[in-house]
Amino acid sequence: MRFVLEQTPAESAAYRLAKLDLEHFPEEADSVVKGNMSLGEIYYTNSSFLNVSHPVSPIERVKNEGMFHDMIEAGALTHVWLADARPSAGSIANFVKKAFYQTRNAQIAFSPEFTSCRSCSRVDRGLSETCAYCGSAEVDGITRVTGYFSLVSGWNAGKIAELHDRASWNVSSVKPVPFEAASSNGEGIHIFGISKNVLHPDGCARCEQAKRIIGQELGRSYTFWDIDSPTGLMALSKYDLNGLAERHLPIIRIGDKTFDVLGKAVRYLKNNGHGLVVREPARAEVAQAGE
């Protein structure tokens, strides 16, 4: 038998199954069902998610839940509940970078919350009982039920209970990950080019030549960055080489020097020693190097 694992959103099953278990197995279910029993707002934590109230930092959540993502072929993600926080673009970028290099997580969703006013039709950040603009109590919450944003008034009691329990964190508190620590060969030789792919079935002749001469003929270790991949692009941006890459490939970066002519890079290398191992980083390799 073959089957594909999916990370079920369980909008209704997490509520329904908790309710049924409490009805038929009250003793056993009591210790595992989450939420507020007296209000009937109950749920199960489903799939590969940690409980929403579990006190871990967002990056730890991304890391721990991500350990299962390789097994879930039909797609999986981790929610980062933001509540009313407004992290800067830089904080978001840093968080994504850290998640990419230091975890196996397949997908992250940043999920803020909003209050929508039925009296004045304005929308404010965060969930509140009254409108921040006109004071009306005729408001509704908007946030991600699981995969999509919807009005909280339409949610079942289980999802309402989960919403009350969601621990939100300030993404900005995550410490920046130094790029050099994340890359597998920070101070060495970097070749930026294009790998063989659907668009370039024969690869880029000059990139292959650079790899062959630097790796095989000179016996130097290098990191090859495919600039069509997200990792390669990120590395390119780190060294501010995007403009140059549009005009010329490959680009060879040795220490703090940039060469767009292979001959000059080779001449420079002949006067400077580096390692001897040739390898191209896989994503997993880069991810492990980040710790």
Distance of alpha carbon 274 from alpha carbon 90, whole angstroms: 34
**Shortest gap between Cβ of 135 and Zn ion (angstroms)?**
7
Q: Give the range of 27-35, 111-119, 143-151, 232-240 binding Zn ion by CB under 5 A.
A: 111-119
Q: How far is the CB of 116 from Zn ion (least distance, A)?
A: 9
Nearest distance from C-beta of residue 114 to Zn ion, angstroms: 13
CB of 140 to Zn ion, least distance (A): 11
**All residues at 6 or more sequence positions from 105 whose CB lies less than 8 Å from its CB, including other chains:** 62, 63, 65, 66, 69, 78, 99
Residue with smaller CB distance to Zn ion, 123 or 233: 123
In the bound state with Zn ion, the residue whose beta carbon lies nearer, of 132 and 262, is: 132
Asked if 168 and 53 touch (Cβ cutoff 8 Å), the reply is no
Q: Which is nearer to Zn ion, 50 or 132 (CB)?
A: 132
Site string for Zn ion, 112-131 (x = CB under 5 A): -----x-xx----------x
Residue (133 or 268) nearer to Zn ion, CB: 133
R_g over Cα of the chain:
25
Q: By C-beta, is 20 or 120 nearer to Zn ion?
A: 120
Please give the Cα distance from 104 to 229 (Å, whole number): 17
Measured from the CB atom, is 119 or 216 closer to Zn ion?
119
Nearest to residue 38, comparing CAs of 22, 51, 21?
Answer: 22
Least distance (Å) between residue 86 CB and Zn ion? 20
Shortest CB 128 distance to Zn ion, Å: 11
Shortest gap between Cβ of 85 and Zn ion (angstroms)?
A: 22
Q: In terms of CB distance, is 60 or 124 closer to Zn ion?
A: 124
Contact characters 223-252, Zn ion, x per CB under 5 A: ------------------------------
- Binders in 129-158 for Zn ion, by CB under 5 A: 131, 133-134, 136
Instruction: With CA atoms as reference, report the closest residue to 183 among 55, 64, 290.
Output: 290
Give yes or no for residue 268 binding Zn ion (CB under 5 A): no
Query: Is the sign of the CA dihedral 283, 284, 285, 290 positive or negative?
Result: positive
- The alpha carbon torsion through 16, 19, 22, 23 (nearest 10 deg) reads -100
Size of the site for Zn ion (CB under 5 A): 7
Give pairs for 31-38: CB < 8 Å, separation 24+.
34/161, 34/162, 34/165, 35/158, 35/161, 35/162, 35/164, 35/165, 36/161, 36/164
Alpha helix ranges (H) inside the chain:
13-24, 26-30, 58-66, 89-102, 157-165, 179-182, 205-211, 230-238, 242-247, 262-270, 283-289
Interface residues with Zn ion (CB under 5 A)? 117, 119-120, 131, 133-134, 136
